[in-house]
């Protein structure tokens, strides 16, 4: 005679209903430390990457997680491009100061969402300072930016109902296969300009010690 398996009573904590009274736990905690090492663009990218991988093999649903995953990638594009614009403007101002002794302010990147406009600023403010621009696969990034801008020019389509996103279907396999390459190109452009900024800072430091130069 076989023993019957023991039936354990359900734990009341596992019975989630809208009528249970929970004590809310604080989620966000402000600190006195500025977490300057955080990269918001990468945060959105690496949050969406596992979603895109799961969507590409059918483990998640296009109509549920799919739109949010597309939004995360689109927002990554916006933030990554804005990073490149800003560091390009910093390099431009510092370079002008070194050569022309003209002190200008670094123009902040406007809080807009149009990817085509932002990419135009990359061409104007970053490209002139990247010596080997044509060595990067910029064409792939431009085509990605153009596609997302054409379908979502204001950054609303994947965030709010009634702005077009409900008409779209997504090739998650295509995005999965390309998204890291696009990130590598954008990271490469940003790192090139960051390195140039570091070199200018080192030169400014040298001038300061040798000749009393006051940098930016």
Q: What is the pLDDT of residues 66-105, one digit of tens each?
A: 999 999 999 999 999 999 999 999 998 876 665 554 456 7
**Cβ atoms within 10 A of the Cβ of 74, count?**
22
The beta-strand segments (E) located in the chain are none
Interacting residues of 212 by C-beta distance below 8 A, sequence separation 6+: none
Tokens of 13: 């904590």
**Cβ atoms within 10 A of the Cβ of 146, count?**
13
Looking at residue 10, its pLDDT comes to: 60
Q: What is the pLDDT of residues 16-25, one digit of tens each?
A: 788 888 999 9
- The pTM (predicted TM-score) of the whole model is 0.83
pLDDT band at 213 (very low <50, low <70, confident <90, very high): very low
Picking from 2-6, 62-66, 83-87, which range would have the lowest pLDDT averaged per residue?
2-6
Mean pLDDT of 95-119: 76
Q: What is the pLDDT of residues 162-212, one digit of tens each?
A: 999 999 999 999 999 999 999 999 999 999 999 988 877 765 564 455 444
The DSSP 8-state label assigned to residue 173 in this structure reads H
HSE-CB for 28 with a 13 A CA cutoff: 1
The DSSP 8-state label assigned to residue 12 in this structure reads G
């Amino acid at each position: 005679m076989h023993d019957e398996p023991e039936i354990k009573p359900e734990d009341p904590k596992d019975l989630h209903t809208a009528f249970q009274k929970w004590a809310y736990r604080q989620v966000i905690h402000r600190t006195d430390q500025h977490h300057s090492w955080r990269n918001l663009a990468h945060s959105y990218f690496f949050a969406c990457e596992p979603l895109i991988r799961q969507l590409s093999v059918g483990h998640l649903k296009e109509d549920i997680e799919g739109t949010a995953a597309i939004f995360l990638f689109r927002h990554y594009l916006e933030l990554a491009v804005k990073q490149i614009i800003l560091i390009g403007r910093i390099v431009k101002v510092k370079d002008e100061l070194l050569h022309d002794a003209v002190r200008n302010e670094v123009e902040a990147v406007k809080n807009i969402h149009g990817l085509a406009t932002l990419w135009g600023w990359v061409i104007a403010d970053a490209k002139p300072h990247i010596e080997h621009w044509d060595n990067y696969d910029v064409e792939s990034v431009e085509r990605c930016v153009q596609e997302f801008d054409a379908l979502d020019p204001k950054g609303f389509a994947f965030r709010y109902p009634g702005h077009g996103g409900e008409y779209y279907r997504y090739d998650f396999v295509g995005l999965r296969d390309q998204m890291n390459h696009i990130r590598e190109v954008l990271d490469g452009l940003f790192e090139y300009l960051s390195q140039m900024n570091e070199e200018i800072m080192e030169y400014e430091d040298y001038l300061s010690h040798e000749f009393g130069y006051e940098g930016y």
